[in-house]
Amino acid sequence: MGSKNVQSALWGQKAEHWAQIQEPTNLPGFQYVLDRLKIGPSVKVLDIGCGTGLFAALASERGADIVGLDATGPFILEAKKRAPSIDFVEGEMESLPFADKSFNVVCGFNSFQYAENIGNALVEAKRVLSDDGKLVVMIWGNKEDCEAATYLKALGTCMPPPPPGAGGPFALTENNRLQTVLAEAGFKLIHEIDLPTPMEYPDTETAMKGLLSAGPAARAIEHSGYDKVYTTLGASMEPFIQPDGHVVYQNKFRIVVAEKA
């Protein structure tokens, strides 16, 4: 059991829009990790929740030996279009199909919070990480530092109430939960930064396509219908439309680097 059955159905409905529009908004985080960890030739990397493969493609360009894993089949198909030479695998983060100590770096960019059991996913990440390897996790920063929280709040009004204890985009941010679950999984934190990571779109229609390609949007549409979600999201977007028509949400993403304790 794990997150694959639920999450793959939600995240793959607009895979091409995720690849073209939404995933590139993570570029500041991707570049920071590549530079901070000096990812390059001879470094073996696993990207858990690789999406449509943008980080993997960037790492491969630097010479890294990278594998991408994602629960969402349409994302894997888009990733293979982006970077045909990379090994992209459809699979479950709580049951990784790799041998022990296979990778020097294991990354999870906004992925671990969607595991059915986050602790199990981190234990699996630890298993496939070399003894001197590094785990990298990127999550949303504090809600007050993320203007995109307004978009997520708007989507929330179009969804049924979540079950008690359900996770979500900020599940690992609140109350320093990420640090707690890392320690419980046998990691020690060695670096942390809240990195400015704006989400910028050239116009409202592009912003809509990008934002509606995320899993929470698919869940909202399933519950309330496309028209209701589109109208609600459009109203919440108005404060972030710039005079030139661009749509900009100022955010911070939290990046932590950990190693085996």
Write out residues in the chain with pLDDT < 50, as ranges: 1-2
Q: Which residues contact 210 (CB under 8 A, 6 or more apart)?
A: 17, 18, 21, 22, 25, 199, 201
Based on the structure, what is the number of domains in the chain? 1
CA distances to 78, 90, 129 from 132, in Å: 32, 27, 8
Would strands 187-196 and 129-140 be described as parallel, antiparallel, or unpaired? Answer: unpaired
Write down the pLDDT at residue 176.
87
What pLDDT, on a 0 to 100 scale, did the predictor assign at position 1? 41
8 A C-beta contact, residue 89 and residue 97: yes
- The reported pLDDT for the residue numbered 153 is 93
Could you tell me the pTM of the whole model? 0.93
Residues spanned by the domain of 36: 4-260
Quote the pLDDT of residue 162: 66
| Digit-coded pLDDT (tens) for 72-91 | 999 999 999 999 999 999 99
Can you give the CATH number for the domain in which 137 is found?
Answer: 3.40.50.150
Q: Tell me the DSSP string of 125-145.
A: HHHHEEEEEEEEEEEE--GGG
